[in-house]
Structure 1
Amino acid sequence: MMTLPSKARAVIIGGGVSGCSVAYHLAKAGWTDIVLLERKRLTSGTTWHAAGLIGQLRGSANMTRLAKYSADLYVKLAAETGVETGMRQVGSISVALTRERHEELLRQATVARIFDVDVTEISPSDVKAMYPHLNTDGVVGAVHLPLDGQCDPANIAMALAKGARMRGARVVEGVKVTGVTENIGPKGRRVTGVNWQMGDEAGHIAADVVINCGGMWGRDLAAENGVTLPLHACEHFYLITEPVEGLGHMPVLRVPDECTYYKSDAGKMMVGAFEPVAKPWGMGGIREDFEFDTLPEDWDHFQPILENAMNRMPLFQTAGIHTFFNGPESFTPDDRYYLGEAPELGGYWVAAGYNSVGIASSGGAGMALAHWITEGEPPFDLWEVDIRRAQPFQKNRRYLKERVTETLGLLYADHFPYRQMATARGVRRSPLHDHLKARGAVFGEVAGWERANWFARPGQERDYRYSWQRQNWFDNQREEHMAVREGVGFFDMTSFGKIRVEGPGALDFLNRLCSAQMDVAAGRIVYTMLLNDRGGIEADLTVTRLSETAFLLVVPGATLQRNLAWLRANLGDDLAIITDMTAAESVLCVMGPKARDLMARVSPNDFSNAAHPFGTAREIEIGMGLARAHRVTYVGELGWELYVSTDQTAHVFEALEEAGADLGMKLCGLHTLDSCRIEKAYRHWGHDITDEDHVLEAGLGFTVSRKKATFLGRDAVLRREEAGLARRMLQFRLKDPAPLLFHNEAIVRDGKIVGPVTSGNYGHYLGGAIGMGYVPCAGQSEAEILGSRYEIEVAGVRHAAEVSLAPLHDPQSMRVRA
């Protein structure tokens, strides 16, 4: 029998396409001392029964980059390894049966043009010419991507495994990993290797890094080490006909309005489905002998899909059925996979949870993860799939079972802006949740937090009516927005992440990590960046100095786990304690020109500029309670964020509501927070700024201290300052007040697409849609940048835009400091 080594640089757990890709790319990067362990045989979990569709276009630039990389790799693999991958670039067609879906496809075509993916918009008659078997009744329009394709998934994995072996990696079947070992060192918990079992034999491999590519087994394996990996298997169905004469190689066809995809393979036709209500599987665990297994047929579940297919593709009425297949695949709470190092355990990496796009994604994902492991940083911004976005509560199995009934179907649902999940809701709530609900709040969810997105009027339907045009809450948002600009608005921002850093070394630690000077007077609030050594933005946050040795860091709720992980990973020898305080305090925001009048009615403290200037925090009395009032803003107006202990939150809210009644205090939602911040050109982390966006190019150089001798990213700032900026962040306002911007519309400069809109919303005060985005500008003056003619392409139509480097709203921040 084969002997296993006693130590390796890396051990990969799982021999599906994900594990094989990670092994291949680690070996390609020069790590030859690696071992892949597969419990049964390669591909025997999900990979072997995947449909093998290779689509290059994804919802963002970097996900598209990864999918394009996969497609290019699979085209070359056969020549490199001698293993036929079945990769054929037959192209793909997506058809729309509704106007809204057509709008989505046209927007996707714009995205494709930004990212240089070959795309053509085609008519129903073009579709019929390319796909004669298709019944085009009801087809409104379509797009064609000629370089998409299909492949043999198992052979892709085998080719990757062979490529890894050719470079020195060990790929071993029939070995089960029974546990990942760890110890606690000076920098906290870290993996030390894996325990394995092969028949009656058992042993241990010491390793620097362990990579969990365990697919649907991955969650339970991760849980043994306290690692959060929220995924759950679902049943996935497809049907294959008997051979159809003269079928040939057809493009992959997607009919998302009927939840179906079609592909021709070896003269047979396949139809697969992403049905709206899916069937979770494996709730009680996966049995030990599971290998190349199928799940029971469920004709009742598949019948509505098949009826649509028989109408859409009449050959299904006459061709015999060769295979009705049902196999499990893992899905995640947000339909995006997980990559990266687990925040809970150093050296424990993850590549799992592929939501039915594992074949198309794994080539690129393996490349990106291998780069991240070997270079210590990702090749580009991977926040969309970063394991650090997972919330600890999401490993709850009941939550996952409920949520994945929805996420499978969402792959083919309309991807409307502001679309909210319907399942597994209400897990994390502010103390004001029921108060706001009683006053008309319509909630959205981020990181499990229920947040009021907008407030319905009495008698108005409290639900979203989704559309690519103005949705049913557009006028509600305008009223809330104008209250913030002209009167006073109230926001519940309890979902903010709150991190306390304290101890004798807290100041030195934060000064080493933050771009701004942290040695300020107690009570001062500093807006700062956490930079990486490339000058990219790992986080933007406010830091309030509470005392000589204690600081409060406030971050977005969605990025809290990522930010905690970054702080802990960089703590070093500084004597400081990092504590997540998120649930201890609520944040109630009072914003607008009348904010000072309102505060004077609920508190005896002095809120004048002299007593409480912008950028300071202090304890105040409010109602019959206490709060810490922070004079900062994310909406670009005079205002305070009130940090209230959760037990007093409801009382403070009632005091504000009573006092604000005749001032016209309006309850406002997150949609209004966003429309106000974008008028003021405040950046949004994850959209406008990420870890690959340089702080100077993002227009945030004012947050960087030039006097501090040392901080992470300082050298990259000085280098860029000397070399000059390659691109700059601009703000855009559409001159026509009708169109809407969300994100990923195309920025057109002097007739040429130069990049995507990074975020967009409607500027109700400025009278048009507002967008942000980067424009290449190497060697150009501000006058040259602003002197060009700009348009924004929305679903193929170009709209004239005015641009600005300074905020279009209150550029001097006179209102903020009023």
Structure 2
Amino acid sequence: MDLPEKARVVIIGGGVVGCSVAYHLTKLGWTDVVLLERKQLTSGTTWHAAGLIAQLRATANMTKLAKYSQELYGDLEAETGVATGFKRCGSITVALTEARREEIYRQAAMARAFGVEVEEISPAEVKAKYEHLNVDDVVAGVYLPLDGQGDPANIAQALAKGARQRGGIVKERVKATGVSREGRRITGVDWEAADGSSGHIACEHVVNCGGMWGREVGKMLGTNVPLQACEHFYIVTEAIQGLTQLPVLRVPDECAYYKEDAGKMLLGAFEPVAKPWGPIPQDFEFDQLPEDFDHFEPILEAAVERMPMLAEAGIHTFFNGPESFTPDDAYHLGQCPEMDNVWVAAGFNSVGIQSAGGAGSALASWMDTSEKPFDLGDVDISRMQPFQGNKHYLMARSVETLGLLYADHYPYRQKATARGVRRTPFHGQLLQHGAVMGELAGWERANWFAKDGQDPAYEYSWDRQNFFDNVRDEHMAVRENVGMYDMSSFGKLRVEGPDACAFLNYVAGGQYDVPAGKIVYTQFLNDRGGIEADVTVTRLSETAYLVVTPAATRLQDQAWLQRHVGDHRVVITDVTAGEGVLAVMGPKARDLLQKVSPADFSNEVNPFGTAQEIEIGMGLARVHRVTYVGELGWEVYVSSDMAGHVFEVLHEAGQDMGLKLCGMHMMDTCRIEKGFRHFGHDITCEDHVLEAGLGFAVKTDKPDFIGRDAVLRKKEAGLDARLVQFRLTDPEPLLYHNEPIVRDGEIVGYLSSGAYGHALGGAIGMGYVPCKGQSAADVLGSSYEIDVAGTRVAAEASLKPMYDPRSERVKV
């Protein structure tokens, strides 16, 4: 087998995604690129994919990647001479319920904000575009004229040919069997070929594009890639006389999609209860799984009603093939947190063809520059927690994830399967008091509290959900009296060593040469001034700090710190599970704490932004005087062994004060009123810290830290955008995120986050507004509306927090 002994990168896996990564790396000038495919290109999942190519995804950046894919496939045939079968036939999604109409209309509004051509169409217009469809119970439709379909295998072959044309090596029937490694780096890949030859390729990078084998390839590379193969069904009819090209059709309320293909109809399903599959046979190649017509029959019965011509058409093919699914229905992309030169692009949840072009382009750019080309938080592999690679967990969760692709995507919808893995020390006590749990990064977190006699469960809707009044009461308790909520799930990273102060001063924007007990709110910046993390840093001693991160980004933030240690003498340890944290917030927070502790909570002893060790009840704790809800308050850190006791002490002492237990939804509604940024929504790696309004947290008088030059350049050049807070003047509509921002009649952006402001009396949103060459007065001098599912609603705009703009309440 003619393979080099050395390469810049080895890509493992020759499906459409691996071929895309090879294509885009060679396009960037990487010539020593080697792709190894264990069998033949496309022989795992790609060959039997349905080939639907849609532009609109759940977020702006995922839409950007999907749009790039369809543009690439449109040009690929001319470049490589390989016919891709790509055609822009358009797509239609229909709603059979009012809830689904709200969803697809919100998606259509979002599409316009993302620059995707889209139109809402009536049932009659659906019928005109799709004459074979029964539209008797269709209530609405959305049409995207530039969506399309293609031949998945040929798209992959075209990408592989494009890579070869630029010097890349694509080898079939060569299996990666092992690796050599030094510390956090892979130094080479062992291979064996079908002809019996074997060898080793020294390399600088490895990319896991293993598809449904991605989890096992990940283990070989020392990384965690949680995904599970599931059975995916479709049928293809016999040829139907007179059938011509039609738009791709999705009927999510019936779990079905339709595609005309060479005069035949393809009907596929994302059934509500999926069938996990495995283990995968070693010799799997272009294989099908056993038919299960009973499982597919309910979908087919509904489809015959929806498209009566199917009743007359014979079934030519009943197909069942495996596809890989991740725990949250978002694919895995990026630099693996456990290693410094291992990358992944896998687990595409049945959207691999429409995602592969953009994903390959984004990953290649990231590898080439060592920086994400834009925010990829939705799919960044570092969002996955170590436990999520557990096989039993993956099997349980994947029963649900395939069906969620076409389920109603209600706001706040929680996963129902594979729950209860991570519990805070207060979990049982919170349940006793009516907590309704949500899940984030595996953590069970109290999202809201049911009242006596109320079913402690979500009832989903696009309107005010059944917890709306509960959250309002919790919100107002924190605003007017005192509330307590569990923050134990937030990440806690201990940074310790003789160089801890110097290290943090290099890796983050704040000033950490502060007295022990001082808390610094700060960001980790990249070289462009974008925000990689939003954290608080508490100095515990001369050599030790505690970095508190959002629960979902703890691993990502730890990896960022680890990768920048260099020669600094520090140790970074995840201590999240070691302490429970109760936030005591509200105007009466000081009164409650003084009832249970002899410590002094006055401004003189414990001013805002400081921590102190205290006695509490019969135990010990540490209190941090900070807030994410915009009120006087403390976060009480207590070792896990004493956590139950401290909860009892605080809860009992609060009974005659009206203490209210609160959940995460309250935290979100309060923080958005106060204009506090939500990492991953309002602030990401592509949002400049100055444009996010967080310049106060960056100390440019320090001599050297990551992002310093970018901050100084932006100060000199001026802002291109500003993060603005909005309040709808009509108190009825609700905001979630991604709703278009309309400035003086023109769409200029979209909301990065949204929630209801119970104290401000209306829905609140935050989003970036372009302002190049404009003053703050210019920005605020415009008239604003927010597009809510196609209806424009007037909004007030502010650059300062609408609630307590001078932060007087937190410092009393």
What is the TM-score when the length of structure 1 is the normalising length?
0.99
Cα distance between partner residues in 2 of 1:231 and 1:604: 51
SS of equivalent residue, structure 1 residue 80 = helix
8 Å Cα contact 2:669-2:756 kept in structure 1: yes
The answer for the alignment partner of 1:278 in structure 2 is 274
* 1:64 and 2:63 correspond: yes
Q: Displacement of 1:805 after TM fit? A: 0.5
Decide whether the 8 Å contact of 1:732 with 1:770 is kept in 2: yes
Counterpart CA distance in 1 for 2:505 and 2:795 is: 40
CA-CA distance at 1:225 after TM superposition: 3.5
Aligned to 1:355: 349
Residues of 2 paired with 1:808 and 1:176: CA distance?
A: 59
**2:593 corresponds to 1:599:** yes
Cα shift at 1:90:
0.2
Q: Is the 8 A contact 1:179 1:221 kept in 2?
A: no
Q: Which residue of 1 aligns with 2:803?
A: 809
Of 194, 204, 208, the residue aligned with 1:208 is 204
Q: How far 1:288 moved relative to its partner?
A: 1.4
Q: Measure how far apart 1:202 and its partner are.
A: 1.5
The correspondence of residues 513-592 of structure 1 with structure 2, limited to 5 A, is 513-592=507-586
SS at match of 2:573: strand
Give yes or no for the alignment of 1:193 onto 2:193.
no
Residues 120 and 145 in structure 1, CA contact (< 8 A), matched pair in contact too: yes
Q: Which amino acid aligns with 1:434?
A: G
Aligned to 2:737: 743
1:226 is displaced (CA, Å) by 3.0
Answering whether residue 259 of structure 2 is matched by residue 260 of structure 1, we say no
Partner of 1:315: 309
Q: Partner residue of 1:250?
A: 246
Deviation of the 1:514 alpha carbon: 1.2
1:232 aligned partner = 228
What is the rounded CA distance, in whole Å, between the counterparts of 1:647 and 1:359 in structure 2? 50
Aligned residue in 2 for 1:782: 776
* SS of alignment partner, residue 154 of structure 2: helix
Q: Percent identity?
A: 68
Question: Quick check: 1:733–1:802 contact (8 Å CA) kept in 2?
Answer: yes
Question: What CA deviation, in whole Å up to 9, does each residue of 1:741-786 have, x standing for no partner?
Answer: 0000011100011101000100000100000000001111111111
Consecutive unaligned residues in structure 2, runs of 5 or more: none
Q: Residue 118 of structure 1 aligns with which residue?
A: 117
1:38-94: CA deviation from partner (whole Å, max 9, x where unpaired): 000000000000000000001111100000000000000000000000001000000
Q: Give the distance between the partners of 1:38 and 1:221, measured in 2 at CA.
A: 12
Match of 1:491 among 485, 495, 498: 485
Q: Alignment partner of 1:381: what SS?
A: coil
SS at match of 2:778: helix
Paired with 2:98 and 2:797, the residues of 1 have a C-alpha distance of 31
Q: How many equivalent pairs are there? A: 811
- Quote the Cα distance in structure 1 between the aligned partners of 2:606 and 2:561: 30
Aligned counterpart, 2:147 = 148
Give per-residue Cα distances to partners, 1:503-542, cap 9 Å, x unaligned: 1011110000110111001100000110000000000100
| Correspondence for 2:401 | 407
Deviation readout 1:155-184 (Å, 9 max, x if unpaired): 000000000000000000010111132112
Q: Is the 8 A contact 1:688 1:758 kept in 2?
A: yes
Q: How does 1:94-109 map to 2 (within 5 A)?
A: 94-109=93-108
Q: Which amino acid aligns with 2:39?
A: K
Distance in 2 of aligned mates of 1:672 and 1:769: 14
Measured against aligned partners, the alpha-carbon deviations of 1:267-308 in whole angstroms (never above 9, x if no partner) come to: 0001000000000001xx311111000000001000100000
In the TM superposition, what are the counterparts of 1:155-170 in structure 2 within 5 Å?
155-170=154-169
Give, in whole Å, the separation in 2 of the partners of 1:575 and 1:123: 65
Please give the alpha-carbon distance, in whole angstroms, between the structure 2 residues aligned to 1:525 and 1:7. 49
Pairwise mapping of residues 640-659 of structure 1 onto structure 2 (< 5 A)? 640-659=634-653
Runs of 4+ in 1 over 3 A off after TM superposition: none
Query: Do the aligned residues in 2 keep the contact of 1:6 with 1:206 (CA within 8 Å)?
Result: yes
Query: What are the within-5 Å matches in structure 2 for residues 324-343 of structure 1?
Result: 324-343=318-337
Residue type matched to 1:423 in 2?
A: T
- What residue number does 2:459 align with? 465
> What secondary structure is seen at the aligned counterpart in 1 of 2:143?
strand
Instruction: Determine the structure 1 residue equivalent to 2:614.
Output: 620
Distance 2:241 2:785 in 1: 50
Deviation at 1:341, TM superposition (A): 1.1
Show the counterpart of 2:505: 511
In structure 2, what is the equivalent of residue 7 of structure 1? 6
Give CA-to-partner distance per residue, 1:680-726, whole Å, 9 cap, x none: 00000000000000000000000010311111100000000000000
Find the counterpart in structure 1 of residue 282 from structure 2.
288
1:303 is matched with: 297
For residue 262 of structure 2, what is the amino acid of its counterpart? Answer: A
**Deviation per residue, 1:351-372 (Å, 9 max, x gap):** 0000000000000000000000
Q: 1-side partners of 2:131 and 2:112: how far apart? A: 27
The SS at the match of 1:383 is coil
AA in 2 matched with 1:108:
Q
The one-letter code sitting in structure 2 at the alignment partner of 1:472 is N
Rounded Cα–Cα distance in structure 1 between residues aligned with 2:314 and 2:568: 70
In structure 1, what is the Cα distance between the partners aligned to 2:178 and 2:102?
49
Distance 2:497 2:282 in 1: 49
- For 1:501, what is the secondary structure of its paired residue? strand
The 8 Å contact of residues 497 and 556 in structure 1, kept in 2 or not, is answered as: yes
User: Does 2:130 align with 1:136?
Assistant: no
Distance 2:775 2:82 in 1: 53
After superposition, the C-alpha distances for 1:634-673 in whole angstroms (9 at most, x for unaligned) are 0000000001000000000000011000000000000000
Q: Residue 488 of structure 1 contacts residue 593 of structure 1 at CA under 8 Å; is this kept in 2? A: yes
TM-score normalised by structure 2 residue count: 1.00
Q: Secondary structure at the match of 1:194?
A: strand
Partners of 1:431 and 1:561 lie apart in 2 by 21
Looking at structure 2, the residues matched to 706 and 164 of structure 1 have their Cα atoms a distance apart, in angstroms, of 44
CA contact (8 A) 2:221 2:342 kept: no
Partner of 1:394: 388
Cα distance in 1, alignment partners of residues 753 and 526 from structure 2: 23
Give deviations 1:533-584, integer Å, cap 9, x for gaps.
0000000100000011100000001000100000000000000000000000
Q: Deviations over 1:586-622 (max 9, x none)?
A: 1110000000100010001111111110000010000
Q: What is the alpha-carbon distance in structure 1 between the residues aligned to residue 356 and residue 502 of structure 2?
A: 41
Inter-partner Cα distance in structure 2 for 1:706 and 1:324: 64
CA distance in 1, matches of 2:217, 2:62: 27
- What root-mean-square deviation, in Å, do the aligned CA atoms of Structure 1 and Structure 2 show? 0.6
Q: Could you say what secondary structure the match of 1:816 adopts?
A: helix
Amino acid at match of 1:81: T
Partners of 1:528 and 1:120 in 2: how far apart? 43
- Contact 2:234 2:319 survives alignment (8 Å): yes
Specify the SS of the correspondent of 1:280: coil
Q: Which amino acid aligns with 2:559?
A: A
User: Residue 235 of structure 2: SS of its match in structure 1?
Assistant: strand
Q: Secondary structure at the match of 1:535?
A: coil
